[in-house]
């Protein structure tokens, strides 16, 4: 409080403070005036009375001026009428009105400028202040503030209830600044005894009685209601009135240019707030009424004589003690109101004024008061002022931001802050302000309880609010953040942890991440996600340094989608170890690195889930690779540094193009109702840039897998497939720019040939009807002629760069495979319903009713495929009586009822397999069987289940523990093993996961299999496995 006094003292000593009468927004509920910026905080649309009254001219009783108002309660205080001197007015003859016809016919008598009416006298509506007529009241005056947009062009003047009224009546000497105000309304908004007919009535309640009296006296022309925007008290939510009150003011109008200059030195986000909303407010700044007629608040430190001729301003407790001679320990009203100061002019004693400071004056003094400046902490304040950063709502452009800037500029000539983030307002779902009284918002406690604090935080910080726009809060939005962001993110984290645990349990490899020693992966998707992550870190740092939260958080949310729906999805088999241990380690290290970086980036926005993830992940980090001394919390860690060596923009572009192709293909499938489960023959990718096609081709295996097609064709030849380019104008951009020429230019754009548009694609500009158009003016699209015989089997979809054709005519084998995938889907969903995890050993029993139908034949033909995917034996009914049933279900599929039962434990298939149906290799090993792990090998040539963990895309055969057969591709002829995968799967077959192996082409083991050999060339051959000695054996 003492610092607030010091601030006021500085202003007073430099002549910034004065006492005056001013028409101000007034809260009748709080019995106090408000500042203009307070009044602007709470506007509402309301219905108010709208009345038109007549004012007969003196000496021309049959001629009346008519004026319009929405505040009938101000009419008893009317002292003048104002017209615009330059506006055109008309004199109308209204004979029907004299006969009281409701809808009179009128005709014009004459037209003239408003200045003709200046000085004319009229009869007052009420006689409460008729004596004022002797001083020039009840005459017509002129001023340019009268506008023709609304009303009659004649504005009634109640000078103590309107700022313009006060100014105009002062200029015409109808009132004087030093006279007693003609203000017959008390502090509670009730009429005083001067207005005898309505004394004691609240002004808003008196409107009806005033209108009734005017009607009885023949002065009412028309009465109705009018909807308009009206200010309400921000504290009591009651209508404000405008009322002349004596107040203490801080001069602001004279330093507008300094305020604008200081504002220009601040960095605002978004920038438009500085120039538009805040800048415009500063340009129209008015002197600030800082006194309030309240009890609570910091007392204004002014001691005055009874006639206000002598004023003493106090700036500290010590000064007050010195002048009063009383020890002061408390500056609240109850402790100082009784203190007096002897007058130096012989006027007796000076007493403190009764007012307290506007609370916004205290808020504006915050930088100084928080450290008790200048009485303490002077150096601490001077080292930290102006503040580096401030953040508040858009409404504070007329509140805290404003008062901080006014006081800082007045005291120090500089802004109080360097950087500003402005957020919008969070409104109720109906667009209204959230209100405890209306209860128009969900309970925040329940939101946090149901969805978590992080989901609420991310919903708000990834909304229009951070762009200084308003948000209509919806609970569904928080729920969607949980569903679309947190659950996929958490599942990726859980998938990583599960596979690290699997690696340690099955392959006895301890996973320990060290960023400094990790090897660079050869996998293109590993390179992509690493590059994408480093680009994200680079972008994050640049945008956070620029305080642009509204660009950072959407990019982080997009990254979650890229990680979960693209990287993890396309690398699940690698992460699960199905492509070999070394490849699995690369994928796990990549996923760990990315998740760890992401947790550090997301920690400021989602502190709880990132801390939970980190507490589990930190045990997998090599302590030697961590620079921070304290690693107990993710919030103690520094943000990751950008590793520019990992950024590869071409790979990022290539994957982006691959994603476009896949998404376009998915749209075609959705449009034709072709689920991805059903394979298709071919997808054709057409692009004009051969380099782009080369990039996409490097990722073709992912396109084939994600779109489930057998063949991928690339082409730059649009004509071969009947493809043409066409252009559409951007109506908003071009319409605004071209105006009248837009219609003709649009017609010409639609006539542009494909060849012309191809040139436009390369150059980026084209002249149409004399108008030069650029890339932002046109949208290019591909069109596809499906009537051509050679392309009739295709469906097409495109974006601005690439066109995808999908052959949508599957043959019977593809339809059969699709049905098999439907069966797999049913099994996996039933697994989920049974709360099973992939490592649980199960057997699936099935039966189709009626038997012998299409579904049964498809399952029988695709048993190997189903088994390879579900990693569980698939057997025909009946279920053994001794089996422990977990879950069972019957679902309709392709005209049959499919009965599925899942039981505990893996069972060996009953049928003896004659041999693999696709590419395979035989294996022989000589080894001490005591060294082998448990492979659960059965009789000769029976399918080995290997604890249901290792049968993935490869089906394994084993004979007596030293002879086996291994599929080189999956049953669909896809996903061939490479050399490292062959070694890894061989080790699994024979239970030698912890031993190093070599493969030979001959029994004498003299011809080792080269690492670059074509694995498919080994089909039906026998490889001889050598188990290398351990270090101890050597």
- Mean pLDDT computed over 364-388: 91
pLDDT on residue 404: 95
| Total H helices, total E strands in the chain | 34, 40
pLDDT on residue 1017: 75
The full DSSP string for 320-338 is HHHHH-S-----SHHHHTT
- Mean pLDDT computed over 386-394: 90
Nearest-CA neighbor of 442 among 468, 472, 469? Answer: 472
Q: How far is CA 249 from the centre of its chain?
A: 41
pLDDT on residue 852: 66
pLDDT at 942 over 80: no
Query: Could you count the other beta carbons within 10 Å of the beta carbon of residue 590?
Result: 25
- 20 token code pair: 């005056």
Quickly state the pLDDT bin for 883 (edges 50, 70, 90). confident
Quickly state the pLDDT bin for 1006 (edges 50, 70, 90). confident
Q: Give CATH superfamily name and number for 475-647.
A: Isoleucyl-tRNA Synthetase; Domain 1 (1.10.730.10)
- 83 token code pair: 């017209």
Beta strands of 775-818 (E only): which ranges? Answer: 778-784, 794-798, 802-807
Sheet containing strand 874-876, edge to edge, reads 874-876, 842-849, 896-904, 885-893
In whole angstroms, give the CA distance from residue 845 to residue 876: 5
- Mean pLDDT computed over 120-147: 91
Angle in degrees, CA 1001, 918, 813, rounded to 5: 160
In whole angstroms, give the CA distance from residue 55 to residue 121: 9
pLDDT on residue 945: 33
- Mean pLDDT computed over 693-722: 87
pLDDT at 1034 over 90: no
Q: How far is CA 620 from the centre of its chain?
A: 33
- 889 token code pair: 């279900």
- Tell me the pLDDT tens digit for each residue of 281-327: 899 888 888 888 878 889 999 999 988 888 999 999 999 999 988 99
pLDDT on residue 526: 92
Nearest-CA neighbor of 278 among 420, 402, 388, 418? Answer: 402
The residue written with tokens 């762009």 in the block is 467
pLDDT on residue 177: 66
pLDDT at 960 over 60: no
Candidate from 124-138, 260-274, 799-813 with smallest mean pLDDT:
799-813
Query: Could you count the other beta carbons within 10 Å of the beta carbon of residue 424?
Result: 18
Q: Which residues pair with 231 in a beta bridge?
A: 43
- Tell me the pLDDT tens digit for each residue of 238-258: 999 998 888 888 999 889 999
Residues 6+ apart with CB under 8 A from 530: 521, 590, 593, 594, 646
- At residue 353, the 3 state secondary structure works out as coil
Class of domain 43-231: alpha beta
- At residue 1008, the 3 state secondary structure works out as strand
pLDDT on residue 929: 53
- Mean pLDDT computed over 415-443: 87
Quickly state the pLDDT bin for 386 (edges 50, 70, 90). very high
Nearest-CA neighbor of 824 among 893, 905, 746? Answer: 893
- 289 token code pair: 């009424």
Candidate from 129-138, 729-738, 972-981 with smallest mean pLDDT:
972-981
pLDDT on residue 975: 60
pLDDT at 957 over 50: no
Query: Could you count the other beta carbons within 10 Å of the beta carbon of residue 564?
Result: 19
pLDDT on residue 946: 33
pLDDT on residue 738: 81
pLDDT on residue 913: 39
pLDDT at 970 over 70: no
Phi, psi of 618 (to 5 degrees): -60, -25
Regarding beta strands 963-967 and 920-925, do their DSSP bridges make them parallel or antiparallel, or are they unpaired?
antiparallel
- At residue 879, the 3 state secondary structure works out as coil
What predicted TM-score, i.e. pTM, was given to this entire model?
0.68
pLDDT on residue 505: 81
pLDDT at 839 over 90: no
Quote the percentage of the chain above a pLDDT of 70. Answer: 91
pLDDT on residue 993: 66
In whole angstroms, give the CA distance from residue 450 to residue 443: 11
pLDDT on residue 912: 35
Do 529 and 1016 touch, CB atoms closer than 8 A?
no
Cα separations (Å) of 518 from 492, 587, 625?
21, 11, 11
**What's the per-residue H, E or C state across 508-570?**
CCCCCECCCCCCCCCCHHHHHHHHHHHHHHHHHHHHHHCCCHHHHHHHHHHHHHHHHHHHHHH
DSSP letter at 1014 equals -
- Tell me the pLDDT tens digit for each residue of 979-994: 888 888 887 777 776 6
Candidate from 84-98, 754-768, 939-953 with smallest mean pLDDT:
939-953
Do 455 and 462 touch, CB atoms closer than 8 A?
no
In whole angstroms, give the CA distance from residue 557 to residue 549: 12
Nearest-CA neighbor of 589 among 663, 505, 503, 674? Answer: 503
Nearest-CA neighbor of 252 among 225, 219, 288, 293? Answer: 288
In whole angstroms, give the CA distance from residue 16 to residue 13: 8
Task: Report the half-sphere exposure of 716 (CA within 13 A, side-chain side).
Answer: 10
- Mean pLDDT computed over 667-693: 88
pLDDT on residue 886: 92
- Tell me the pLDDT tens digit for each residue of 326-375: 998 899 999 998 999 998 888 888 999 989 998 899 999 999 999 999 99
Task: Report the half-sphere exposure of 1005 (CA within 13 A, side-chain side).
Answer: 12
pLDDT at 99 over 50: no
The residue written with tokens 């108010």 in the block is 48
- 223 token code pair: 């009465």
Regarding beta strands 288-289 and 240-250, do their DSSP bridges make them parallel or antiparallel, or are they unpaired?
antiparallel
In whole angstroms, give the CA distance from residue 399 to residue 25: 15
Domains in the chain: boundaries? 43-231, 475-647, 654-719, 723-784, 812-904, 920-1027
Do 97 and 218 touch, CB atoms closer than 8 A?
no
Quickly state the pLDDT bin for 817 (edges 50, 70, 90). confident
Do 58 and 121 touch, CB atoms closer than 8 A?
yes
Quote the percentage of the chain above a pLDDT of 90. Answer: 38
Q: Which residues pair with 711 in a beta bridge?
A: 682
pLDDT at 104 over 70: no
pLDDT on residue 927: 65
Respond yes or no on whether the N-terminal peptide bond of residue 878 is cis (omega within 30° of 0). Answer: yes
Quickly state the pLDDT bin for 686 (edges 50, 70, 90). confident
In whole angstroms, give the CA distance from residue 247 to residue 572: 73
- For residues 442, 447, 453, 455, the Cα torsion angle rounded to the nearest 10 degrees is -100
Phi, psi of 327 (to 5 degrees): -65, 130
Candidate from 286-300, 481-495, 556-570, 582-596 with smallest mean pLDDT:
286-300
Phi, psi of 458 (to 5 degrees): -70, -35
Residues 6+ apart with CB under 8 A from 480: none
Query: Could you count the other beta carbons within 10 Å of the beta carbon of residue 584?
Result: 25
pLDDT on residue 808: 84
Do 604 and 1001 touch, CB atoms closer than 8 A?
no
Do 287 and 252 touch, CB atoms closer than 8 A?
yes
pLDDT, the chain, mean: 85
Do 140 and 89 touch, CB atoms closer than 8 A?
no
In whole angstroms, give the CA distance from residue 388 to residue 85: 52
Q: What share of the chain is helix, strand, coil (3-state, %, to 5)?
A: 40, 25, 35
pLDDT on residue 532: 94
């Amino acid at each position: 409080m003492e610092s607030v006094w010091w601030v006021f003292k500085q202003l007073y000593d430099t002549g910034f403070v004065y006492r005056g009468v001013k028409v101000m927004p007034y809260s009748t509920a709080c019995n106090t005036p408000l500042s203009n910026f307070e009044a602007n905080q709470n506007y509402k649309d309301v219905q108010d009375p709208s009345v038109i009254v007549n004012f007969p001219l003196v000496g021309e009783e049959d001629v009346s001026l008519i004026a319009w108002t929405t505040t009938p309660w101000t009419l008893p205080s009317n002292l003048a009428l104002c017209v615009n001197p330059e506006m055109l007015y008309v004199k109308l003859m209204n004979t029907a009105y004299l006969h009281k016809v409701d809808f009179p016919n009128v005709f014009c008598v004459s037209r003239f400028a408003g200045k003709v009416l200046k000085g004319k006298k009229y009869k007052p509506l009420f006689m409460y202040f008729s004596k004022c007529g002797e001083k020039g009241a009840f005459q017509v005056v002129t001023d340019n503030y009268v506008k023709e947009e609304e009303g009659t062009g004649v504005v009634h003047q109640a000078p103590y209830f309107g700022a313009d009224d006060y100014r105009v009546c002062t200029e015409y000497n109808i009132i004087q600044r030093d006279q007693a105000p003609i203000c017959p309304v008390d502090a509670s908004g009730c009429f005083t005894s001067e207005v005898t007919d309505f004394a004691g009535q609240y002004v808003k309640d008196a409107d009806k009685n005033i209108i009734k009296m005017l009607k009885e006296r023949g002065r009412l022309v028309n009465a109705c209601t009018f909807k308009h925007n009206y200010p309400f008290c921000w504290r009591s939510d009651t209508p404000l009135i405008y009322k002349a009150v004596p107040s203490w003011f801080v001069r602001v109008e004279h330093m507008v240019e300094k305020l604008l200059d200081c504002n220009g030195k601040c960095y605002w986000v978004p920038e438009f707030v500085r120039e538009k909303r805040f800048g415009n407010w500063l340009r129209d700044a008015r002197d600030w009424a800082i006194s309030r007629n309240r009890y609570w608040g910091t007392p204004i430190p002014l001691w005055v004589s009874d006639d206000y001729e002598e004023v003493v301003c106090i700036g500290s407790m010590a000064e007050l003690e010195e002048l009063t001679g009383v020890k002061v320990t408390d500056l609240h009203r109850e402790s100082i109101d009784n203190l007096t100061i002897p007058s130096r002019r012989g006027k007796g004693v000076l007493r403190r004024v009764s007012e307290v400071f506007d609370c916004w004056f205290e808020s504006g003094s915050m930088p100084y008061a928080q450290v008790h400046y200048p009485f303490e902490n002077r150096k601490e304040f001077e080292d930290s002022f102006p503040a580096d950063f401030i953040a508040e709502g858009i409404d504070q452009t007329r509140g805290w931001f404003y008062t901080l800037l006014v006081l800082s500029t007045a005291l120090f000539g500089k802004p109080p802050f360097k950087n500003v983030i402005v957020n919008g307002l969070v409104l109720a779902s109906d667009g209204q302000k959230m209100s405890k009284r209306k209860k128009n918002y969900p309970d925040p406690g329940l939101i946090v309880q149901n969805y978590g604090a992080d989901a609420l935080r991310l919903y708000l910080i990834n909304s229009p609010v951070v762009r200084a726009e308003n948000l209509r809060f919806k609970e569904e939005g928080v729920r969607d953040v949980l569903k679309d962001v947190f659950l996929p993110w958490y599942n990726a984290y859980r998938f990583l942890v599960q596979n690290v645990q699997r690696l340690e349990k099955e392959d006895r490899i301890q996973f320990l991440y060290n960023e400094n020693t990790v090897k660079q992966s050869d996998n293109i998707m590993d390179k992509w996600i690493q590059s994408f992550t480093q680009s994200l870190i680079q972008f994050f740092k640049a945008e956070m340094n620029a305080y642009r939260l509204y660009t950072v958080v959407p990019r982080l949310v997009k990254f979650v989608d890229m990680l979960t729906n693209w990287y993890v999805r396309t690398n699940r088999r690698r992460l699960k170890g199905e492509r070999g241990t070394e490849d699995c380690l690369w994928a796990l290290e990549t996923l760990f690195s990315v998740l760890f970086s992401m947790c550090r980036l997301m920690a400021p926005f989602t502190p709880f889930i990132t801390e939970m993830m980190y507490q589990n992940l930190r045990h997998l980090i090599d302590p030697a690779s961590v620079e921070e001394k304290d690693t107990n919390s993710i919030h103690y860690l520094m943000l990751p540094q950008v590793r520019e060596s990992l950024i590869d923009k071409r790979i990022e572009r290539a994957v982006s193009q691959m994603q476009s192709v896949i998404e376009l293909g998915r749209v075609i499938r959705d449009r034709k109702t072709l689920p991805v489960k059903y394979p298709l023959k071919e997808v054709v990718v057409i692009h004009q840039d051969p380099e782009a096609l080369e990039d996409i081709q490097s990722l073709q295996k992912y396109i084939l897998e994600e779109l489930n097609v057998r063949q991928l064709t690339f082409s730059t030849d649009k004509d071969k497939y009947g493809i043409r380019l066409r252009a559409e104008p951007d109506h908003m951009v071009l319409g605004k720019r071209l105006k009248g020429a837009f219609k003709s230019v649009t017609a010409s754009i639609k006539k542009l040939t494909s060849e012309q548009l191809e040139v436009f694609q390369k150059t980026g500009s084209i002249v149409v009807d004399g108008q030069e158009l650029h890339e932002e003016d046109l949208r290019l699209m591909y069109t596809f002629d499906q009537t051509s015989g050679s392309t009739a089997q295709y469906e097409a979809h495109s974006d601005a760069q690439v066109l995808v054709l999908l052959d949508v005519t599957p043959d019977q084998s593809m339809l059969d495979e699709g049905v098999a995938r439907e069966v797999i889907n049913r099994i996996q969903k039933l697994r989920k319903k049974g709360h099973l995890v992939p490592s649980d050993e199960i057997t699936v029993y099935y039966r189709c009713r009626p038997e012998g139908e299409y579904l049964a034949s498809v399952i029988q033909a695709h048993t190997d495929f189903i088994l390879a995917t579900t990693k569980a034996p698939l057997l025909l009914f009946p279920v053994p009586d001794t089996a422990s049933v977990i879950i069972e279900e019957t679902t309709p599929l392709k005209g049959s009822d499919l009965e599925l039962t899942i039981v505990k434990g893996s069972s060996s298939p009953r049928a003896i397999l004659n041999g693999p149906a696709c590419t395979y290799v035989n294996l022989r090993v000589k080894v001490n069987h005591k060294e082998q792990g448990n492979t659960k090998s059965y009789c000769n040539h029976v399918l080995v289940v290997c604890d249901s963990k290792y049968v993935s895309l490869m089906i394994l055969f084993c004979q007596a523990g030293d002879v086996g057969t291994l599929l080189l591709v999956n049953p669909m002829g896809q996903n061939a093993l490479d050399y490292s995968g062959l070694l890894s799967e061989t080790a699994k077959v024979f239970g030698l996961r912890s031993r190093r192996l070599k493969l030979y082409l001959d029994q004498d083991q003299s011809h080792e299999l080269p690492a670059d050999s074509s694995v498919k060339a080994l089909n039906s051959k026998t490889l001889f496995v050598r188990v290398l000695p351990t270090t101890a054996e050597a």
